[in-house]
A = this chain, B = another copy of it.
Amino acid sequence: CWICVNSCVSCISELCPDGTRDYSPKQMAIRERVFNAIITCFKRHGAEVIDTPVFELKETLTGKYGEDSKLIYDLKDQGGELLSLRYDLTVPFARYLAMNKITNIKRYHIAKVYRRDNPAMTRGRYREFYQCDFDIAGQFDPMIPDAECLKIVHEILSDLQLGDFLIKVNDRRILDGMFAVCGVPDSKFRTICSSVDKLDKMPWEEVRSEMVGEKGLSPEAADHIGEYVQLHGGLDLIEQLLQDPKLSQNKLAKEGLGDMKLLFEYLTLFGITGKISFDLSLARGLDYYTGVIFEAVLLQPENDHVEEPVSVGSVAGGGRYDGLVGMFDPKGRKVPCVGVSIGIERIFSILEQRVEASEEKIRTTETQVLVASAQKKLLEERLKLISELWNAGIKAEVLYKKNPKLLNQLQYCEDTGIPLVAIVGEQELKDGVVKLRVVATREEVNVRRESLVEEIRMRTSRP
């Protein structure tokens, strides 16, 4: 199994396609918690929600992902249109805006995306995985929506209590200006940008040799880039680069640095600059970004041997893409967009590990009461009672046996965390009561049948 390297525990078996997995009820319970935190944040920021099909016309995805296009899943040609599974939620969003002539929207979208990643190079990564996207489309004053996207990342990562994190920020215009002043030919901007993007996984020496060896960049240009991409900091670095004799002469870089300064002013008002780093090595691989780009990484706690906290992987990313919607509009009308995507697979696995370690018992159902009987031949009475409870909105279960043992019924409650048992017996039926047992304390009380619903509600409402 290439996902878990050695032991195929839950993710994979010969019956599941490579790179995919089922979610068990326990995993779903954790997944719902994470989704709730994220959706709550998106709604706090006034987002609407949309949904799009899992596949798009193949041509919709063509030319949007640069070198990564080879990872797109195509459907078989069975007659009719050529289709591909979506690779992200951003391109379908841009297609949706263009198709419906929407020029102004703030929306979120949570759905699975598909990438034919090479097993060998991507241990621990899935071919089917969730993205949680929040995007703001429309013509607005500079950097206000961009700052809100960063605030959202900050809120979500803080809420989920995943430990320390850092949000790296850069701007495609600063990168392009930097490439220009370093002497990279225009035609090589995108491919050199892809190389810079690998700096979070490879040392500079390897990236440099890819630039010079594979991509034919001059060693001088590469070395010049090497000086810039080790820079990271805050407002002070922005000021410094605005004075940089070469960069300050480049129109694109100057624009990008000016906006970066404005962004940091807004982030200061939001009180979140402590976790933001302007980082010239951040490039992001996707072709469609045109302005601000960012990526959030979780940090390993510092220890005695390491001076700076070490990144353990990206959990969110995004940026501005002002040209993408125009690619789908017959007249090329542009709709400026900025957005963020939360990559929650890594967040799931961190929380899953934490639950395992803590031995926290996670309930996978919400059942309030088990309808049980102590004697035989009471199936009909159990069914009548549970039907009354269901009709009153009580979450109730019954064992699917004609004559279950009381012990087995109580054990079922222990196993699944059901807090109450409603027991019917000959005597109770005669007296018009039901015996209500609290599983945790073994306390038992007789409750008049007409008061049972109210009693269960009272005992299971959260404090």
- Which residues of A are interface residues toward B (Cβ below 8 A)? 10, 13, 15-18, 20-25, 28, 31-32, 43-57, 60, 73-78, 80-81, 83, 85, 95-96, 98-100, 105, 107, 112, 114, 116, 128, 136, 138, 140-141, 144-145, 147-148, 151, 155, 266, 269-271, 328, 364-367, 379-380, 383-384, 387, 390-391, 393-398, 400-402
Give the shortest distance, in Å, between A12 (CB) and chain B (any CB): 10
A-B pairs with beta carbons under 8 Å apart, 21 shown: A10-B100, A15-B60, A16-B53, A16-B99, A17-B55, A17-B56, A17-B57, A18-B80, A22-B50, A28-B49, A28-B51, A44-B394, A45-B395, A46-B365, A46-B396, A48-B365, A54-B54, A54-B128, A73-B78, A80-B116, A144-B383
Q: Which residues of B contact A112 (CB under 8 A)?
A: 54
Verify A140–B401 contact, CB threshold 8 A.
yes
Verify A383–B22 contact, CB threshold 8 A.
no
Which 9 pairs between the two chains have the least Cβ-Cβ distance?
A140-B400, A25-B48, A20-B53, A46-B397, A23-B51, A74-B76, A144-B400, A46-B367, A269-B383
**Which one of B48, B75, B400 lies within 8 Å of A141 (CB-CB)?**
B400
Q: Which residue of B lies closest to A77 (CB)?
A: B76
Verify B13–A99 contact, CB threshold 8 A.
yes
Verify A20–B55 contact, CB threshold 8 A.
yes
- C-alpha gap A25/B270 in the complex (Å): 28
For the complex with contacts A15-B95, A75-B75, A148-B400, 6 further pairs of A-B residues with Cβ separation under 8 Å are A15-B60, A17-B55, A22-B50, A45-B390, A48-B365, A151-B390
Give the shortest distance, in Å, between A68 (CB) and chain B (any CB): 14
Q: Which residue of B lies closest to A145 (CB)?
A: B400
- C-alpha gap A55/B73 in the complex (Å): 11
Q: Which residues of B contact A45 (CB under 8 A)?
A: 390, 395-397
- C-alpha gap A56/B400 in the complex (Å): 32
Interface of chain A: mostly helix, strand, loop or mixed: mixed
Q: Which residues of B contact A366 (CB under 8 A)?
A: 43
Given A76-B77, A396-B44, A25:B107 Cβ within 8 A = yes
Q: Which residues of B contact A383 (CB under 8 A)?
A: 144, 147, 266, 269-270
Q: Which residues of B contact A43 (CB under 8 A)?
A: 365-366, 395
Verify A400–B136 contact, CB threshold 8 A.
yes
Q: Which residues of B contact A384 (CB under 8 A)?
A: 269
Q: Which residues of B contact A20 (CB under 8 A)?
A: 53, 55
Given A15-B99, A22-B96, A45-B397, A155:B390 Cβ within 8 A = yes
Verify B51–A116 contact, CB threshold 8 A.
no
- C-alpha gap A85/B84 in the complex (Å): 12
Q: Which residue of B lies closest to A52 (CB)?
A: B22
Verify A328–B397 contact, CB threshold 8 A.
no
Q: Which residues of B contact A140 (CB under 8 A)?
A: 400-401
- Which of A31, A105, A328, A383 has the most C-beta atoms of chain B within 10 angstroms of its own C-beta? A383
Give the shortest distance, in Å, between A215 (CB) and chain B (any CB): 26
- C-alpha gap A15/B97 in the complex (Å): 11
Q: Which residues of B contact A380 (CB under 8 A)?
A: 269
Q: Which residue of B lies closest to A98 (CB)?
A: B15
**Which one of B50, B364, B387, B401 lies within 8 Å of A24 (CB-CB)?**
B50
**Which one of B22, B107, B393 lies within 8 Å of A51 (CB-CB)?**
B22
Give the shortest distance, in Å, between A414 (CB) and chain B (any CB): 15
Q: Which residues of B contact A269 (CB under 8 A)?
A: 380, 383-384, 387
Give the shortest distance, in Å, between A24 (CB) and chain B (any CB): 6
- C-alpha gap A85/B20 in the complex (Å): 13
- C-alpha gap A391/B151 in the complex (Å): 10
Give the shortest distance, in Å, between A347 (CB) and chain B (any CB): 16
Q: Which residues of B contact A144 (CB under 8 A)?
A: 379, 383, 398, 400-401
Q: Which residues of B contact A74 (CB under 8 A)?
A: 75-76, 78
Given A50-B28, A53-B16, A74-B75, A138:B400 Cβ within 8 A = yes
Verify A44–B141 contact, CB threshold 8 A.
no
Verify B365–A47 contact, CB threshold 8 A.
yes
Q: Which residues of B contact A270 (CB under 8 A)?
A: 383, 387
- C-alpha gap A291/B25 in the complex (Å): 27
Q: Which residues of B contact A393 (CB under 8 A)?
A: 44
